[in-house]
């Protein structure tokens, strides 16, 4: 069967189960778009290419599938870089397809030519410049294989325009074989047996789970392991939802804005079983003081992550799901005795730390942002998919919305990318049309990609945006308050748009609350409307996110108020 390069692309995408592409057309990809128009693959037209990658990212996180985006050459390609970097930092499987100038013009500074392969090499798992149409199908298959296997991540495929219109005889490749790429999924059993021995000996053990557990679809196994061993559990930002946030063994998030009990428990434990984490600096604080009394076990599919930031006692390279399954089997084979009695003193100490309740706040005559998030949790029953922008809004969402399921908290963790939440919510809503999807945003970050409201309206995607509007770039302002003697240099957002009118201008619904009494009614109304809705909450201008660990300090040195 003789097909053009563009038709070959469609055949490969269908063979990979792709049902949705997020993108923005341009000259170098016109043939691809023409072929796409003749398929049943859904195309979501974004308003900015950065939004396309964030939407594909949100789609991937919510669905567990590979997200796909398609953009043109030059500025279309360069506009994807921030989204690619965010996906890379959080290990999200995304395939980014970029158009390129015709092969014979590459290197000639042709119109809308950039070396996007060179530009994205540091922030992709792998990338390709297709030089022969004969290689196109195999490269696309490899891209999907690389994106979804091992430690997932974004893969970019750059396709010159002449290859999209050229024709060859086509047969879809079935198998992908990369000699130099063989992720190790099976953990070493001897190492796992060491872990079981440490569990038996430990007096103050705990578990630290991360985003790798969610990516491995290992939440069930993690919960089983935690309950069998009666070990309290903390999580990184990216790991929220892997373990039920309402479980008695849940300690809350760890790190710079983690709970008092999570940070203190980590610092006092004698065994820390770390699963699918990378020991980010926002988690560890001062590294030589992190879990200094503990034997540290580190389970991760990426061998380069182990001992990268924190020395560990028992390194285990393997898939989180398989590793936890094996650990659960090993635990079943031994007698752990009366764990409630053995762990009693440790659990009592943790209960004392819980009772310090550093997440308490006082709701007075001005709306507190924490109150908005708590009411949102109550009204949604914790069932909504929550995306966030970045900053204070992100941390309040992590602290006050209790996630009981994986794939329900979608945020830019590693890169901390403002403008992520709305397009990610669009992607999540496309992936999960029957779910409530809410973007918790700040008045600064929502403006980074607010144009994607047009995308939500055009495609009838009923995403909800909850803006915690404090008139500042809130997290930066908080640092200026604490460490720069309240010199609020360039953080005032006094001249924001009227977000209610902005919603209406896009054909969406806009609502506003300015008093605490209006919070619940506005949320109830906004959540009930089957259209895109912006809910603007005027909140306390100088409210801070606490606890807070100053940069470089041990995580025990928390500012609590």
The residues annotated with a catalytic role in the active site are 49, 111-112, 161, 475
Query: Exposure of 247 by Cβ count < 10 A (0-12 exposed, 13-18 middle, 19+ buried)?
Result: middle
| List of E strands, 307-453 | 314-317, 385-388, 409-410, 437-442
CB proximity list for 65: less than 8 A, separation 6 or greater = 17, 59, 93, 431
User: Which string of b and e fits 351-387 if b means at least 16 CB within 10 Å?
Assistant: eebbeeebbebeeeeebbbbbbbbbbbebbebebbbb
Strands 167-169 and 205-209: unpaired
Question: How far is residue 341's CA from residue 164's CA, in Å, rounded to a whole number?
Answer: 68
CB proximity list for 322: less than 8 A, separation 6 or greater = 185, 186, 187
Task: Output DSSP code: residue 438.
Answer: E
- Decide if 140 contacts 9 (C-beta within 8 A): yes
Question: How far is residue 166's CA from residue 211's CA, in Å, rounded to a whole number?
Answer: 42
The DSSP bridge partners found for residue 441 are 467
- Which tokens hold the place of 207? 């578990």
Q: Is the peptide bond before 290 cis (omega within 30 degrees of 0)?
A: no
Task: Output DSSP code: residue 549.
Answer: P
- Which tokens hold the place of 12? 């490969």
What percentage of the chain's residues is helix, strand, coil (to nearest 5)? Answer: 40, 20, 40
- The pair phi, psi for residue 440, each rounded to 5°, is -90, 120
Place of tokens 């009930």: 528
Task: Give the up-direction half-sphere exposure of residue 223: CA atoms within 13 A in the CB hemisphere.
Answer: 17
Question: How far is residue 163's CA from residue 456's CA, in Å, rounded to a whole number?
Answer: 33
Task: Give the up-direction half-sphere exposure of residue 346: CA atoms within 13 A in the CB hemisphere.
Answer: 23
**Angle 189-201/320-332 helices, nearest 10 degrees?**
60
- Decide if 443 contacts 512 (C-beta within 8 A): no
- Decide if 511 contacts 520 (C-beta within 8 A): no
CB proximity list for 111: less than 8 A, separation 6 or greater = 74, 101
Query: Exposure of 143 by Cβ count < 10 A (0-12 exposed, 13-18 middle, 19+ buried)?
Result: buried
In angstroms, the Cα distances linking 237 to 253, 280, 316, 334 are 6, 10, 22, 33
Question: How far is residue 411's CA from residue 422's CA, in Å, rounded to a whole number?
Answer: 10
Question: How far is residue 115's CA from residue 74's CA, in Å, rounded to a whole number?
Answer: 8
């Amino acid at each position: 069967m003789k097909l053009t390069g563009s038709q070959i692309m469609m055949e490969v995408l269908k063979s990979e189960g792709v049902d949705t592409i997020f993108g923005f057309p341009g000259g170098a990809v016109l043939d691809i778009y023409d072929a796409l128009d003749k398929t049943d693959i859904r195309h979501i037209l974004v308003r900015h290419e950065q939004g396309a990658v964030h939407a594909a990212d949100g789609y991937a996180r919510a669905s567990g599938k590979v997200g796909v985006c398609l953009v043109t050459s030059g500025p279309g390609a360069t506009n994807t870089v921030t989204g690619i970097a965010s996906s890379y930092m959080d290990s999200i499987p995304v395939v980014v397809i970029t158009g390129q100038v015709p092969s014979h013009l590459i290197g000639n500074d042709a119109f809308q030519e950039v070396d996007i392969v060179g530009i994205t090499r540091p922030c992709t798992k792998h990338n390709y410049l297709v030089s022969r149409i004969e290689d196109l199908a195999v490269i696309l298959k490899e891209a999907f294989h690389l994106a979804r296997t091992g430690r997932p991540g974004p893969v970019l495929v750059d396709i010159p325009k002449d290859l999209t219109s050229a024709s060859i005889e086509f047969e879809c490749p079935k198998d992908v074989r990369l000699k130099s790429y063989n992720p190790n999924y099976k953990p070493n059993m001897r190492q796992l047996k060491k872990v079981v021995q440490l569990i038996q000996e430990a007096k103050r053990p705990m578990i630290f789970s991360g985003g790798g557990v969610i990516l491995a679809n290992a939440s069930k196994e993690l919960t089983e392991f935690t309950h069998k061993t009666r070990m309290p559990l903390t999580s990184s930002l990216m790991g929220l939802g892997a373990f039920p946030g309402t479980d008695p063994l849940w300690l809350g998030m760890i790190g710079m804005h983690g709970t008092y009990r999570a940070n203190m428990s980590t610092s006092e434990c004698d065994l820390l079983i770390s699963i699918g984490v990378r020991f980010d600096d926002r988690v560890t604080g001062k590294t030589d003081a992190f879990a200094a009394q503990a034997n540290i076990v580190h389970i991760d599919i990426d061998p380069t992550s182990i001992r990268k930031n924190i020395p560990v006692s028992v390194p285990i390279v393997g898939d989180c799901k398989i590793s936890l399954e094996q650990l659960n089997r090993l635990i079943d084979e031994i007698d752990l005795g009366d764990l409630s009695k053995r762990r009693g003193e440790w659990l009592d100490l943790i209960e004392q730390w819980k009772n310090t309740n550093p997440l308490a706040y006082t709701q007075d005559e001005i709306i507190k942002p924490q109150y908005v998030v708590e009411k949102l949790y109550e009204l949604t029953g914790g069932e909504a998919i929550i995306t966030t922008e970045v900053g204070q809004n992100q941390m309040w969402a992590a602290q006050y919305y209790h996630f009981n399921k994986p794939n329900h908290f979608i945020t830019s963790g590693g890169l901390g990318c403002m403008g992520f939440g709305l397009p990610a919510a669009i992607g999540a809503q496309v992936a999960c049309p029957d779910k409530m999807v809410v973007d918790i945003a700040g008045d600064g970050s929502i403006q980074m990609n607010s144009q994607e409201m047009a995308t939500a309206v055009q495609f009838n995607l009923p995403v909800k945006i909850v803006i915690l509007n404090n008139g500042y770039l809130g997290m930066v302002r908080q640092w200026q308050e604490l460490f720069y003697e309240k010199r609020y240099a360039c953080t005032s957002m006094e001249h924001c748009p009227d977000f209610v009118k902005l919603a209406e201008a896009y054909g969406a619904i806009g609502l506003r609350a300015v008093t605490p009494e209006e919070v619940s009614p506005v949320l109830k109304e906004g959540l009930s409307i089957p259209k895109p809705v912006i809910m603007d909450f005027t909140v306390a201008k100088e409210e801070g996110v606490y606890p807070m660990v100053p940069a470089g300090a041990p995580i025990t040195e928390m500012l609590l108020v």
